[in-house]
Structure 1
Amino acid sequence: MSLKSFAAKLFAKRVVSKSREWIENPVATQQKVFNELIAKAAQTKFGKDHNFDSIESYSDFTAQVPVRDYEALKTYVEEVVEGKEDILWPGKPIYFAKTSGTTSGVKYIPITKESMPSHIEAARNAILFYIAESGEADFVDGKMIFLQGSPILKEENGVKLGRLSGIVAHYVPGYLQKNRMPSWETNCIDDWETKVDTIVDETLKEDMSIISGIPSWVQMYFERLQQRTGKPVGEIFPNFKLFIYGGVNFEPYRAKFNNLIGRSVPSIELFPASEGFFAYQDTQTEKGMLLLLNSGIFYEFIKSDSFFEENPKRLTIAEVELGVNYVLIISTNAGLWSYNVGDTVQFTSLKPYRVIVSGRIKHYISAFGEHVIAKEVEEALKIATANTAVSINEFTVAPQITPEEGLPYHEWFIEFETLPADMDAFAEAIDTAMQQQNTYYDDLITGKVLQPLKITSVQKNAFSAYMKSIGKLGGQNKVQRLSNNRKVADALTLYKI
């Protein structure tokens, strides 16, 4: 055992022990965060506009501060972008994380000196929890790669601006700098395909032990490695021992990854966003990710089936239930207040509080009142592919409201790596799994309002070509799993087989 891995084990034990203090006192921890946020922001423009000085309880807060999305908060954000101080949070942010929104165009999410450490500590602690539980730490001696956006930052009115993953690249601790891949120069390459090829060049002869990124883009990296060498990734990197991912559900990719790697590799799931680092997988034995209740974020939850009502009930951590789909609402030490992140979550555990990401509140199918969410389509695909040789690279689902003949249906666009022996039987297996999960969908099928789903098989690399066509290839961009319109579906019809 090296000195570094020995030290990592000791540090992991200490961090996990310290974390137990807030994990075992969740409600009190959140109340403390709430009180600190309100007190700190009371003299900001937002705080004065919403009478923070008079807020003494959560009910006062909900009466004064409505739930907002980026568009509704935009007037305040624009003042911050213009360089004004004390608008959403005391002083000025140290960064803007630049993201692309579906309705707001480019979004500028503030990151403050108070919020930035939480992003770094959460990513670090996810690995430390794994070390503490598994006893494995020798991977800290190998090379680590984080597939991310360019770290080149611009500046706007004295505040640095860039993608979150690029901002985080500036915070890699000194003791990991020699282990970190790719090189700074390669990380700065904008064109994703060129970047991946260059990363392959740099890493082929290295002792890679940790690989991290959004699964779809890591898959591209793995495929390029395999094309270059004719070997599985696990043979190229015999000490590859940990895969870290976030952004999308890994299950649809797991079989393909095992095939590309040639063996199973332990993984850690993260739930990061520009708005905050919300959760990470704290154990390999339980489902879900540990919700971070002590990191400067106060959480609220609204049941997704009532979210679009005029005054939906807002819940605190003390009021949530297992298995219910909630819209995630946050107030943070970066100056976001009752902010709708857009993600939906479900709790898998209340002691401690663990969540899974079930989808996006704007990404669903309910063209016929079926209320289908991402978790359901991903689970249906997992069930249908279990114990089969079927391998899938990517997929998305959309309604077909006006087919040329017959009843409407859900159309599944799937990029297969290995085709089913019987496509009709495979489609039926998915449809059955969907009916078992979603009673609304089941009623529509049995009531002859919808016909069973249909699969449209698309060419290899169709999804990459589509993402490239809209300028979202690589980085932190993700394929939309499902939508209530045909925008993505119509674009993919160009690639159907």
Structure 2
Amino acid sequence: MGLINSILTWVMKKRIHQIELFMKYPHDVQDELFKRLIQEAQLTQFGLQYGFSDIETYEQFRERVPIHSYEKLYPYIERQMRGEENILWPSEIKWFSKSSGTTGHRSKFIPVSQEALEECHFKGGKDLISIYVNNFPDTKLFDGKGLAVGGSHQINEYDSSASSFYGDVSAVIMQNLPPWAQFIRTPSLETALMNNWEEKIEKMAYETATENVTNLAGVPTWTVLLIQRIVELQNKSNILEVWPNLEAFFHGAVAFKPYRSLFQSLIPKDTMNYWETYNASEGFFGIQDQKNSEEMLLMLDYGIFYEFIPVDELDNEHPRAIPLHEVEKDKNYAMIISTNAGLWRYNIGDTVKFTSISPYRIKISGRTKHFINAFGEEVIIENAEAAITRACTLTNAIIDNFTAAPVFLEKGKRGGHEWIIEFKVQPDSLDTFTKVLDESLREINSDYDAKRNFDLALVAPKVHSVPEGTFYQWMKKRGKLGGQNKVPRLFNTRDYVEDILQMTAEVELR
């Protein structure tokens, strides 16, 4: 084992004791964090508005401060993006993490304070390595380099002083990494932050093929495209012929199960480790802490105070959130966060299920809305309905029902979306309808547009027109007829699409 590897492995292991402390005393850690957040933000405009200075208990906080969606918080964020300070958080906000949009916005811009960078995102990255090293004490991770597939950033044009920036959270983190972390990563920062994904993948493929890459980090979608391109350029059968010491892939953002077999074909190594993280624009929330597990440890000392809303209460006009100590195992909750970047009682849109409460471990169970996010495209129901409406208008079509699902990546094939639509009035041209649907989604959703660019991660969608009555018969078959049951518009697996296509084929054969 090399000297650098030995030193860094020893350093990373030192954090484990602190992690064990918050695992043992989770409520004390969260209570102390809550008080610190309230105290530090009491003189911000948000803190003055809601009287933070005399909030002493969580119950007061819950009663006084409403739960915020992005739309509700956006007026404060917009002021920050225009250069105003001390709005949501007292320290200067120089960075905004950009992610896919909501009903009224093509993109979301999440404030990232210096405290959030250091106490959450950087700390999460170090803890990920610490936990991994603790599980694999003989690792040779630091004998080579880590390859991170990230996004890009740009100057915030909303700020007339041009002193702030926005971009993918991966790019924000990468740009601000300390020198020692830059030293053990590849490719060059200039390449890693390129905006044109087609050129970036190509340049990364050439630049990293000669490195001793021991670990990968990123979204499976982009990582697998890079691996495939390197294998192709180097005329190899798999990536181990290029990087023989590759031992780990740290992944997150989208479900990994659909990609596992593809990765295993590209990395034919029984000892390859796949390690899950829960890192979002809003914060770093969870890390897998055990071998061969699908659970993640909820990280409690990252400047994030957690609350949870039972999913079955989300439709209530005023759903009641509960603190960490009241959650139950095997129950779905929407996650609400208050952070050291000024996101107050913010509903991030994810749902989680606790698999353990001593310590607190979670699995991501879904979203609070129907969505497709197989490739990081984050297409929500509002996106789909807006695109469908425009396609119908421009092709004189009328629809009755629709659903859509991802087409997952396979070796040698790109991913995509597959739509099943029941028309009451057929479009003038199904090809034109499909083209408008695709173009509209690209205009509405910046993450979908990025994945569709040059067919790099997503090819054009495939649309099936099915006979009238198809969705009625399908719902009837499932015992789901009635006003309380709705056709799932978007689904992140292929279960519903496959079932409908099979039923349609069986009808045609009769």
The question of 1:272 aligning with 2:279 is answered yes
Contact 1:15 1:125 in 2 (8 A): yes
- Distance of aligned partners of 1:143 and 1:297 in 2 relative to their CA distance in 1, 3 Å threshold: same
**1:10 matched to which residue of 2?**
10
The question of 1:348 aligning with 2:355 is answered yes
Q: Please give the per-residue CA displacement for 1:159-192, whole angstroms capped at 9, x wherever unaligned.
A: 3333221111123332343332112232232221
The question of 1:80 aligning with 2:60 is answered no
- Distance of aligned partners of 1:114 and 1:55 in 2 relative to their CA distance in 1, 3 Å threshold: same
The question of 1:213 aligning with 2:254 is answered no
- Distance of aligned partners of 1:140 and 1:289 in 2 relative to their CA distance in 1, 3 Å threshold: same
**1:426 matched to which residue of 2?**
none
Residue of 140, 162, 173 corresponding to 1:168: 173
**1:383 matched to which residue of 2?**
none
**What one-letter code is carried by the residue in structure 1 that aligns with 2:73?**
L
- Distance of aligned partners of 1:252 and 1:87 in 2 relative to their CA distance in 1, 3 Å threshold: same
Structure-2 separation of matches of 1:353 and 1:149: 31
Structure-1 separation of matches of 2:206 and 2:314: 48
Q: Please give the per-residue CA displacement for 1:115-153, whole angstroms capped at 9, x wherever unaligned.
A: 110201111111111101211331211121100012555
- Distance of aligned partners of 1:105 and 1:32 in 2 relative to their CA distance in 1, 3 Å threshold: same
The count of aligned residue pairs is 413
- Distance of aligned partners of 1:110 and 1:199 in 2 relative to their CA distance in 1, 3 Å threshold: same
Contact 2:225 2:457 in 1 (8 A): no
Q: Please give the per-residue CA displacement for 1:367-415, whole angstroms capped at 9, x wherever unaligned.
A: xxxxxx99xxx9xxxxxxxxxxxxx9x999999xxxxxxx989665535
- Distance of aligned partners of 1:323 and 1:192 in 2 relative to their CA distance in 1, 3 Å threshold: same
**1:115 matched to which residue of 2?**
116
Structure-1 separation of matches of 2:121 and 2:490: 36
Structure-1 separation of matches of 2:213 and 2:448: 32
**2:267 matched to which residue of 1?**
261
**What one-letter code is carried by the residue in structure 2 that aligns with 1:202?**
E
Contact 1:80 1:92 in 2 (8 A): no
**TM-score scaled to structure 1, two decimals?**
0.75
Contact 2:306 2:323 in 1 (8 A): yes
**1:333 matched to which residue of 2?**
340
Contact 1:235 1:261 in 2 (8 A): no
Structure-1 separation of matches of 2:346 and 2:43: 19
- Distance of aligned partners of 1:255 and 1:121 in 2 relative to their CA distance in 1, 3 Å threshold: same
Secondary structure of the equivalent of 1:211? strand
Secondary structure of the equivalent of 1:473? helix
Please list, as runs of the form range in 1=range in 2, the aligned pairs for 1:78-157 lying within 5 A after superposition: 78-103=78-103, 104-117=105-118, 118-154=120-156, 156=159, 157=161
Higher mean displacement: 253-262 or 171-180: 171-180
Residue of 242, 245, 250 corresponding to 2:248: 242
Secondary structure of the equivalent of 1:43? coil
Please list, as runs of the form range in 1=range in 2, the aligned pairs for 1:445-464 lying within 5 A after superposition: none
Structure-1 separation of matches of 2:255 and 2:30: 27
RMSD: 3.6
The alpha carbon displacement at 1:91 in A equals 3.8
Contact 2:150 2:193 in 1 (8 A): no
**What one-letter code is carried by the residue in structure 2 that aligns with 1:135?**
P
Contact 1:248 1:478 in 2 (8 A): no
The question of 1:309 aligning with 2:353 is answered no
- Distance of aligned partners of 1:28 and 1:148 in 2 relative to their CA distance in 1, 3 Å threshold: same
Structure-2 separation of matches of 1:347 and 1:247: 19
Please list, as runs of the form range in 1=range in 2, the aligned pairs for 1:170-209 lying within 5 A after superposition: 170-209=175-214
Between the two proteins, what is the percent identity of the paired residues?
34
Runs of 4+ aligned residues of structure 1 deviating over 4 Å after TM superposition are: 151-155, 394-399, 407-413, 466-470, 486-489
The question of 1:23 aligning with 2:23 is answered yes
**2:489 matched to which residue of 1?**
485
**1:430 matched to which residue of 2?**
none
Contact 1:396 1:412 in 2 (8 A): no
Please list, as runs of the form range in 1=range in 2, the aligned pairs for 1:334-413 lying within 5 A after superposition: 334-363=341-370, 412=405
Structure-1 separation of matches of 2:17 and 2:451: 40
Contact 1:152 1:162 in 2 (8 A): yes
**What one-letter code is carried by the residue in structure 1 that aligns with 2:90?**
P
Higher mean displacement: 80-89 or 67-76: 80-89
Higher mean displacement: 116-125 or 304-313: 304-313
Structure-1 separation of matches of 2:89 and 2:315: 28
**1:422 matched to which residue of 2?**
none
Q: Which runs of 5+ in 1 are unaligned?
A: 365-372, 379-391, 400-406, 420-462
